[in-house]
Chains A and B, each alone.
Chain A
Amino acid sequence: MKKILVIDDDQFFSKTLEAALPADKYILLSAEDGEIGLEKLKSEKPDLVILDLMMPKLDGTAFLKRLQESPDLPKVPVLVSSNLSSVKKISDVMTMGAVGYVIKSDESLQSIVQDIERVIGQETKKE
């Protein structure tokens, strides 16, 4: 079982994603802002983080920055999923260490699930 942490203030997204992911392979955890996300990252040590960008308190960009700057945080692949589609934003977060960028409204749940499986599969190979 792989643990996936969804950090997104849009509760619908994590709920629909949970329904779309095969329940026998993944456990989905959710955090509604970046601060809670950081706490759960430390306590739950997930295999993948799915990160939204526009959030209250600690937003996605600040979360990535924190992850880059703090060596004591677990090194977990981060897949950014947002409705922000500016090229600059995408290249910004990619340079900050994200493994992928999903524009939520442009993709079906099924293709997001595929993206997740691809990233987790790659990480598993590395190990």
Chain B
Amino acid sequence: MYMFFGLVVLVLITFVFYFYFSLKKREKEITKEREESTRRIYELAILKELGERVGYSLDVEEILQIITGSLRQFIDYTAVGYVVINPGKLKVNTHIEKSVSREFLSEMKSRMVASLSALTDKTYDLENIDEVLSGAIVIDEIKQNIGSLFNIPLVIDGEVVGVLTVAHVTSGLYKEADMTILYKITGQASEAVTRLQEVVKKEKGKLNAMVESMGDGVLMVDSEYRVVVANPAIKRIIKADVSKDVSIFDFIDILGGKFDIRGKLEESVSKKVSYVSERINIDEVFFEIGVYPVAHHLAKGGNQILGAVVVFHDISKDIELERVREEFTGMIVHELRSPLDGVKKIIELIVSGSVDTGSDKFKEYLNMAHQSSASMLELVNDILDLSKLQAGKFEVNKEKANIKEVIENRISFYKISADGRGVSLDLWAGENVPELLEFDPQAVKQILNNFLSNALKFTSKGGAILVSAFVYNPKEALPNLDRSKVSVFPEAADLKVKSPSLCVAVSDTGIGIPEDSIKDLFHTFKQAKLNPVDKEIKGTGLGLVIAKGIAEEHGGTVGVVAKEGVGSCFFFTIPL
């Protein structure tokens, strides 16, 4: 009975023990699991924190500092450090957790550098290294040497830029897991930096391309007035070699007393103010020079002045336009004042009674007054048309009209004057010209008046003027024109039409037009300085500008082809 009882107790005790031990074991497992998950959570937290802190930094050292600073929380170490490749030399930064000897540190350093050397396949001078120590003090009496150590490379954009080293006095301490997590951390950090660098590189590339291709000269200096950026345009402006670097002194030299670039830069940097100059010339070219401070907005608030930007904006074209406009106004005033003055003087003569009213002289004077007032009226009309065209208020009243009739009408008008000069004036019309077309006959007459009166002005006795009218379809060849009396005609390419169009060309056997004058012919404020055959005829060149406006209002074009000494041909096109 007791025996049985004893057995039961024993079994019970065994059970209790078993239960207790299994419980204990379970508890251990749970603790281990908890440790494991804590570690995982910690690992995640640290990766997240690193991600955030590293995410916006491009500074490799800053990243390594962040990593080494948070390492202590999950890896036990005696010292942690990193080596980075700075321009010129290496930099080693070591944090001592528990006091060690100088020997420990020096070995740690040489193993760190050796690792970097192996990774980058370069040798480094151990003597020429910037060293920073922090943490516990160095005690040479501590004879413990490195027991455990491992290195993690930091790779950015496929290049090893540094090595992170963890060391401990106890040997055999670091397990695969410890190294893995550090690998993960540095891996993530380098990935973030690589990504960021790519973005920066791309943006920098865009910015560089923009500054490089800018027509304005751009110069950026740092707060010490050292040149940071100088685009090719600015180098050309100061006549420096585009492939060479420039300094602020190059600018001081070329600007001389015209612009105090140094003073303006100082003012801009110290007072954070912008400045734009009056016109400043460098030889024949005029510039407006702007000086602007460049500030970096700090995350913690406030600005940090990085330097200043100087922009040279070429205003020569504006000045040229201003000059041309003044010249134009001067010319118009002259062209109006001369005939008006002529009329005034004629009247003065008549009033003074020195001319007999019945005499031929008197008739001649009246004729002169009539001519003067007519030419003034023509000029005033031209100016009015021009201002309407420029304001977009020139009205084209299209209607169904016969182009051949319109041309014949103008030819008969100018026939008398052409006969008087001994110049032939004819029309040649292609068979494909329709009877009726949509256009403004009054406006087209104005173009013809201009082309015909010009042709007459520049064609001498015995010459010929031919008006050709034809339809040109860009998909077909040009029709066969009558080239018997005149030889200058537009070619298909000169007509610049995209759809079938009516083309009217006025060819003459006049003096032609020098090549460099042609481009200015249809320009509002410029007139080619040509010498008409008849010296009494003067022109403002406004007629051609008006002709261009009228043709364009019809959706067409005007143009000219000329051979010096052979003749000229002015033409207009109107799409069908």
Contact = CB atoms under 8 A, between A and B. Distances in A.
Interface of A: 9-13, 15-17, 19-20, 32-33, 54, 56-57, 83-84, 86, 104-105, 108-110
B342 A54 contact: no
Interface of B: 330, 333-334, 337-342, 344-346, 348-349, 352, 354-355, 361, 364-365, 368, 372, 531-532, 535-536, 538
B372 A12 contact: yes
B348 A54 contact: no
A12 B342 CA distance: 6
A32 B341 contact: no
Contacts of A54: 334
Nearest to A33: B535
A12 B338 CA distance: 9
Nearest to A22: B354
A9 B349 contact: no
B345 A56 contact: no
A19 B346 CA distance: 10
Contacts, number: 64
Contacts of B345: 12-13, 16-17, 20, 108-109
Given A84-B334, A104-B341, A105-B344, 11 more contacts: A12-B339, A12-B342, A19-B349, A19-B361, A32-B535, A56-B531, A56-B535, A57-B531, A83-B333, A104-B338, A108-B345
Given A12-B368, A54-B334, A108 B348 contact: yes
B458 to A, nearest CB: 13
Contacts of A9: 535, 538
Given A9-B538, A12-B368, A57-B531, A20 B354 contact: yes
Contacts of B334: 54, 83-84
Contacts of B339: 12
B276 to A, nearest CB: 29
A108 B352 CA distance: 11
26 contacts: A9-B535, A10-B342, A11-B536, A12-B342, A12-B345, A12-B368, A12-B372, A13-B342, A16-B342, A16-B365, A17-B345, A19-B354, A20-B345, A20-B352, A56-B535, A57-B531, A83-B333, A83-B334, A83-B341, A84-B330, A86-B330, A105-B337, A105-B340, A108-B345, A109-B352, A110-B352
A109 to B, nearest CB: 5
B348 to A, nearest CB: 5
A15 B348 contact: no
B346 A16 contact: yes
A12 B346 contact: yes
- Leading 5 A-B pairs by shortest Cβ distance: A12-B342, A105-B341, A16-B345, A83-B337, A12-B368
Nearest to B344: A105
Contacts of B368: 12, 15
A41 to B, nearest CB: 18
B341 A109 contact: no
